[in-house]
Amino acid sequence: MLKSLKTATVLLLCLLSDVTFGQTGGPKYVMVIHGGAGTLSRKNMSPEKEAAYRAALKLALQTGYTAIKSGKSSLDAVEATIHTLEDNPLFNAGKGAVFTHEGRNEMDAAVMDGKTMKAGAVAGVTVIRNPISAARAVMEKSEHVMMAGPGAEAFAKQAGLAIVDPSYFYTKERWDGLQKALREDSAKAVLDHGSKKSMLLGTQNRDNKFGTVGAVALDNAGNLAAGTSTGGMTNKKYGRIGDSPVIGAGTYANNATAGISCTGWGEFYIRNVVAYDISAMMEYKNMTVADAAQAAIAKVGNMGGDGGLIALDAKGHAAMPFNTEGMYRGTVTEDGKIEVFIFKKE
Ligand code: ASP
């Protein structure tokens, strides 16, 4: 009974997330991005806000595409693309990051190179203007994979990255989001993308904005790279770190399989090792990127978690499944055609 219920859920999720591309000799995708998954519905979004999100996603994809077309590496494309999203206050990454319980902005980011399988990540950083660049510096300029807090900040400074006053990250909308969360339930961290299920568990904040950001790129040399950057969850406490900077959970890339960036309820993504799970399903079970991505999201859903992810394989097949009401997302093909989506059905 339980098993058939699970199978039905998987099938339903597959039907709901008809967001896979390029599996049957269609166009070759060279970049796929996300700007967070959550309770995004048309009726809750003004036309102006929707237009602003669509423009930001297009700019991000255009930036990545220009980098790839000019012969830059997938790593360069991912970093440049994520910069535009981190610098945009609409997204929960860089400027516009959500606030912790104590009223700080603590950001996480990771990047992985599918060719060398090198990776870098930072967690809980508060003064690095573009955390994705710090993640890349950890990967390229140190022998480590992950650095956290003041140590990561000292390293970024030494690497010559832009350091800002913490007030740079402030936005009124995120501050108001924290005040609301504190009023509603000061004891719980609030997901930036509360679903009906998470509302039942008391972790809701439906009015809050979404917007962890991520990008996966495929360059002219056939190399994949993936990156993710986030402010995490509103009202988070105790130095909580989500899945985004955890290699294999929120971010992963391997030329032999795919590049992946996740967004959603981080704890579920860590427990399911979601990004690596997709790569493993492709490697060991010979699954397509679309099937593996959908299976991974179904597992998250079956455990009670919600969110989405983007994945791109080395042949240019893309997948963007999610089990929330919407996900900011977009693709660009090798001929420069850009498409952006927000809602489930567009
Ligand atoms: N996955 C992120 C985290 O849990 C949040 C998000 O994607 O919105 O920190």
For ligand 1, whether the C-beta of 230 sits within 6 Å is yes
Residue 25: the pLDDT is 63
C-alpha to C-alpha distance for 83 and 179, rounded to whole angstroms: 28
Helices (H), 87-213: 131-141, 149-158, 172-185, 196-200
Q: Per-residue pLDDT tens for 146-197?
A: 999 999 999 999 999 999 999 999 999 999 999 988 988 655 555 555 444 4
Q: Which 8-state DSSP code applies to residue 259?
A: E
Closest CA to 148 of 134, 133, 165, 164: 134
Single-letter amino acid, residue 4 = S
Helices (H), the chain: 2-16, 47-69, 74-86, 131-141, 149-158, 172-185, 196-200, 266-271, 274-285, 289-302
pLDDT of 137 over the 60 cut: yes
Give residue 302 CA to ligand 1 midpoint distance, Å: 18
Whether 228 is a known active-site residue: answer no
C-alpha to C-alpha distance for 319 and 219, rounded to whole angstroms: 17
Give residue 136 CA to ligand 1 midpoint distance, Å: 20
Ligand 1 pocket test, candidate residues 82, 191, 244, 251, most atoms within 8 A of CB: 244
Q: Per-residue pLDDT tens for 84-104?
A: 999 999 999 999 999 999 999
For ligand 1, whether the C-beta of 261 sits within 6 Å is no
For ligand 1, whether the C-beta of 81 sits within 6 Å is no
Give the atom of ligand 1 at the shortest distance from the alpha carbon of 108: 9
C-alpha to C-alpha distance for 50 and 222, rounded to whole angstroms: 34
Give residue 233 CA to ligand 1 midpoint distance, Å: 6
Closest CA to 340 of 42, 47, 28, 53: 53
Nearest 5°: phi and psi at 224?
-100, 150
Give the atom of ligand 1 at the shortest distance from the alpha carbon of 231: 9
Closest residue to atom 5 of ligand 1, CA basis: 232
For ligand 1, whether the C-beta of 36 sits within 6 Å is yes
Residue 180 burial by CB count (10 A; 0-12/13-18/19+): exposed, middle or buried? middle
Residue 346: the pLDDT is 80
Q: Per-residue pLDDT tens for 16-49?
A: 444 566 555 678 999 999 999 987 778 888 999 9
Give the atom of ligand 1 at the shortest distance from the alpha carbon of 38: 8
Q: Per-residue pLDDT tens for 211-231?
A: 799 999 999 999 999 999 999
Nearest 5°: phi and psi at 231?
-95, -5
For ligand 1, whether the C-beta of 263 sits within 6 Å is yes
Residue 192: the pLDDT is 52
Residue 208: the pLDDT is 46
Across the range 142-149, mean pLDDT stands at 98
Give the atom of ligand 1 at the shortest distance from the alpha carbon of 267: 4
Across the range 247-263, mean pLDDT stands at 98
Helix (H) or strand (E) holding 205: none
C-alpha to C-alpha distance for 341 and 346, rounded to whole angstroms: 7
Residue 17: the pLDDT is 47
Closest CA to 213 of 112, 326, 108: 108
For ligand 1, whether the C-beta of 195 sits within 6 Å is no
Residue 312: the pLDDT is 98
User: Which domains are present in the chain?
Assistant: 2-343 (3.60.20.30)
pLDDT of 206 over the 70 cut: no
Residue 26: the pLDDT is 76
Of the residues 63, 100, 212, 230, only one is catalytic, namely 212
Residue 308: the pLDDT is 96
What's the chain's average pLDDT? 89
Name the pTM for this structure: 0.90
